[in-house]
C-alpha cells in the first residue's frame, strides 16, 4: 500500500522558513518523482516543485530561489525547504508521486500525471 505523509507545516512570520517533509512508503524513490503542490484558501491546486527520480529539480518562478526540494532515497523521504516566506505562500501543501519523470509545464508539476497523493499539511504565513 502506497502512503505519502506530509509534516512540518505550521504558522510562521513573513520572512521566515519552514521545512516540509514527505515520508513515503510502498514506492521506490529511485524510480519515482515526488511533486509538491499547494492549495491556497479559495483557490485551485498549484504545482510548486518537483524532485525528479534522478535528482533533477523543478520549480515555478514564484518560488525559485526561495524553495529547495531534496530527497533521501535511503530514508524514503523528500523535503521542501521554504525560505523567505510571504503571506502568498499560505496554503495546504501536498506531496505526490509520479512514476519516473516529473511531468511539468514551466516548472509546475501536473496533476494529470500523479499516481498517489498525501493528505497535506497547512502552512500559514502571517504576522
The whole-angstrom separation of Cα 21 and Cα 5 is 8
Residue 46's closest CA among 97, 91, 8, 100? 91
- pLDDT at position 9, please? 98
Whole-angstrom CA distances from 71 to 12, 50, 80, 88, 120 are 23, 11, 9, 25, 18
- pLDDT at position 73, please? 95
The upper half-sphere exposure of residue 70, i.e. CA atoms within 13 Å in the direction of its Cβ, equals 9
The pLDDT tens digits for 1-35 are: 999 999 999 999 999 999 999 999 999 999 999 99
Could you read off the pLDDT tens digit of each residue along the chain, which spans 127 residues?
A: 999 999 999 999 999 999 999 999 999 999 999 999 999 999 999 999 999 999 999 999 999 999 999 999 999 999 999 999 999 999 999 999 999 999 999 999 999 999 999 999 999 999 9
- pLDDT at position 91, please? 98
Residue 117's closest CA among 104, 98, 91? 98
Amino acid at each position: 500500500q502506497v502512503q505519502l505523509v506530509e509534516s512540518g507545516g505550521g504558522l510562521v512570520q513573513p520572512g521566515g522558513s519552514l521545512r516540509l517533509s514527505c515520508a513515503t512508503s510502498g514506492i521506490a524513490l529511485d524510480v519515482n518523482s515526488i511533486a509538491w503542490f499547494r492549495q491556497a484558501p479559495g483557490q485551485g491546486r498549484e504545482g510548486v516543485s518537483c524532485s525528479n527520480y534522478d535528482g533533477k529539480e523543478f520549480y515555478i518562478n514564484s518560488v525559485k530561489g526561495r524553495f529547495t526540494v531534496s530527497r533521501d532515497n535511503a530514508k524514503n523521504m523528500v523535503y521542501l525547504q521554504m525560505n523567505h516566506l510571504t503571506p502568498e505562500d499560505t496554503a495546504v501543501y501536498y506531496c505526490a508521486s509520479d512514476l519516473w519523470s516529473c511531468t511539468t509545464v514551466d516548472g509546475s508539476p501536473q496533476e494529470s500525471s500523479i499516481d498517489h497523493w498525501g493528505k497535506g499539511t497547512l502552512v500559514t504565513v502571517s504576522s
